[in-house]
Amino acid sequence: AGAASRLVQFVLMFGRPLTACAVSTAVGAVLLAFFTSVNPTQKSAVPPVVVGNDWQNRADSGRVWTVAELAAYDGTHGPHALLLAILGEIYNVSAGARFYMPSKGYHSMAGCDNSRAFAGESDEANASIGDLSTEEQAGVAKWRSFYRDHDVYYRVGVLNGLYFDSLGRATAEQQRLESVFAAANWIEVLRKKFEKRFMNCNSKSATSKAEMVIWCDDSYHPPGSRPVHVYYTLPGQGDMPPHSSNRCACVPMKDRTRFEEEAAELAARPVQDTITFRFVDYIGCPEMSQTCSRRQNTIPPLP
């Protein structure tokens, strides 16, 4: 299977971070058979890793590794640590040996920086993600956060290369990506606020039926809401251009006039860092009903 399908499995396998207790009881014995328990910060050719109950004795995260040094930790060089790099940050993933060892689904990520694989783009070691879409780059950053925040995996240094120099300092490319990630995070916060304000409609469909149902529920949505289609544009930020999208939203009828006045004002005089939007009614839906049936695959009403 390709990198994209394996990432889906990876999410399912690691939907929740492992706890120290789970590691020591469920896989500790297996890991002890694979890895030795000596100082992981020593700069020998293949420094081993602390495992079992000692995993909290974390390694020095300031070490700068070479590509050749990291390659020795791909699981093919004897009972040593399993390491991977993402965006130049190196993590000890020995606790996940059953996923990263040779012949396992994610072995292509071990012993190298294969950041591109986290966007489902590469089975070969490729650290570069600069030509990917902003959304794909932000997705890789989320995977980096997964490793940063993991209960058992831990950082053991940085890789001299695209993202860090030989002294461990961030390169221009790493700094550029951090700006992209910051902008993407800001846009995501703005989008979630908008989604909370104009909540998604409920929907139900079946392949055996020609129609789908969309509706608003007073027990979940603001009371008195009905389905409308909302077109909106997220503002640009940094290198990220404005992004337009549309969806079904539940809008309380008592507030619709006020919302539409706000939308008209923003269309006439846009406000920096603010989402612009417009409501469009679904054709054929009862005017005051909270439920509407529409033919499946029907295009949304035009703005």
Report the number of distinct structural domains present in the chain.
2
Same domain as 287, residue 180: no
Is 50 inside a domain boundary? yes
135-170 CB burial, b ≥16 within 10 A, e <16: ebbbbbbebbebbeebbbbbbbbbbbbbbbeeebee
Mean residue pLDDT across the chain: 82
Q: Which of residues 160, 184, 208 is at a domain's end? A: 184
Q: What percentage of the chain reaches a pLDDT higher than 90?
A: 63
Q: Whole domain around residue 108: which residue ranges?
A: 3-184
**Residue bearing the bigger pLDDT, 49 or 84:** 84
Q: Which residues pair with 294 in a beta bridge?
A: 212
Same domain as 166, residue 46: yes
Is 192 inside a domain boundary? no
Confidence category of residue 127, pLDDT binned at 50, 70, 90: very high
Confidence category of residue 280, pLDDT binned at 50, 70, 90: very high
Structure tokens at 190: 């703005």
Is 12 inside a domain boundary? yes
Same domain as 132, residue 55: yes
Q: Which of residues 149, 184, 219 is at a domain's end? A: 184
Same domain as 221, residue 167: no
Same domain as 49, residue 173: yes
C-alpha to C-alpha distance for 246 and 222, rounded to whole angstroms: 20
Asked whether residue 2 carries a pLDDT value surpassing 70, the answer given is no
Same domain as 61, residue 178: yes
Asked whether residue 80 carries a pLDDT value surpassing 80, the answer given is no
The SS3 of residue 200 is strand
Query: How does pLDDT run across 214-225, given as a tens digit for each residue?
Result: 999 999 999 999
**Cβ-contact 35, 94 below 8 angstroms:** yes
Q: What percentage of the chain reaches a pLDDT higher than 70?
A: 79
Task: Give the pLDDT mean for 78-102.
Answer: 91
pLDDT at residue 3, rounded to an integer: 47
Task: Give the pLDDT mean for 20-41.
Answer: 33
Same domain as 252, residue 162: no
CATH of the domain at 100: 3.10.120.10
Same domain as 151, residue 35: yes
Confidence category of residue 60, pLDDT binned at 50, 70, 90: low
pLDDT at residue 288, rounded to an integer: 87
Determine if the pTM surpasses 0.85: no
Structure tokens at 196: 């909370």
pLDDT at residue 123, rounded to an integer: 66
Query: How does pLDDT run across 163-177, given as a tens digit for each residue?
Result: 999 999 999 999 999
pLDDT at residue 16, rounded to an integer: 39
In what side-by-side order are the strands of the sheet with 225-234? 243-252, 225-234, 276-280
pLDDT at residue 23, rounded to an integer: 33
